Amino acid sequence: MNVARFLQYIASGTAFTVGVTVIALPFGLLLGAVLAFLNVYSGKMVKNLTSIYSTMMRGIPPIVLLFILYFIVSGEINLSPFWAGSISLGIVSSAYQMEIIRGAILSVSGGQMMAARAIGMTKNQAIRNIILPQTLRLAIPPWSNEAAIVIKDSSLVYALGVPEVLRRAQLISASTQQPFLAYAAAAAIYFILVFITNRLLDALEKRLRIPANP
């Protein structure tokens, strides 16, 4: 097998790696954001439940959660390993993203809410128009860290048999006895994906930054 085909075999797993990330990350963001706003703005009962969710999810290794969630999710509904893995990873990530968004909400000053209520906005209007836009801006830098983690953690779904980059590297290294080349290629792909993502998010943060005098 020549080197080009060898590398091509591994690189074709990139679609799965990107696919898992592109499903898991927004799914985790949506769930995490909803949980974060519930945690900050709802009653004691919901606050406690969301806190317990966050603490539990963050206290278990992602791979263990992945197995548990995969067997629950695919036991209930017939899902392919790709979808089950992506959603599971999204659920794992939601706990971390919840904490990121929660931190951002809390760092928007309480006065913003008060000022919004003072002109007659309802709590929901204030959250939507005032708190959320500021929160999301503040969340971009820590969120870009989580995005990198999810890209890298997408390699965990190899354990479910999804033919993504790491899985392919492992297969081809076994069949060609070239582990270094195989894993180095996989490492390079992950690195490039993370690098590009971080650059894009940096650019987004600059673009959305609120103008102010120095």
Partner 1 sequence: MAKPILTIKDLTKKYSDNVIFHDINLTVNEGDTIVIIGPSGTGKSTLLRCINLLTRADGGQIWLDDQEITAKHCDEDVVRQHIGMVFQNFLLFNHLTALDNVMLGLTKVKHMKPEPAREKAMQELDRVGLSDRAGHYPGQLSGGQQQRVAIARALAMDPRIMLFDEPTSALDPELIGEVLEVMRKLALEGMTMLVVTHEMGFAREVADRIVFLEKGSIVEEGTPEDLFYRPKHDRTREFLWKITELYGKKDAGK
**In the complex, which residues of this chain contact partner 1 (CB under 8 A)?**
109, 111-112, 114-122, 125, 129-130, 133-134, 137, 210-213
Round to whole Å and give the CA distance between 131 and 22.
26
Of residues 6 and 41, the one with the C-beta less far from partner 1? 41
- Give me the least distance between CB of 47 and partner 1, in Å please: 21
Question: CA–CA separation, 203 vs 187, rounded Å?
Answer: 24
Q: Which residue number, 121 or 181, has a Cβ lying nearer to partner 1?
A: 121
Of the two residues 199 and 209, which places its CB atom closer to partner 1 in the complex? 209
CB 87 within 8 A of CB 77: no
Query: Please, which residue, 75 or 133, has the CB nearer to partner 1?
Result: 133
**Strand intervals (E) in the chain:** none
The minimum distance between CB 165 and partner 1, in angstroms, equals: 39
Tokens of 189: 């792909």
Question: Rounded to the nearest whole angstrom, what is the least distance from the CB of residue 54 to partner 1 in the complex?
Answer: 27
Element (H, E) at 50: helix 44-58
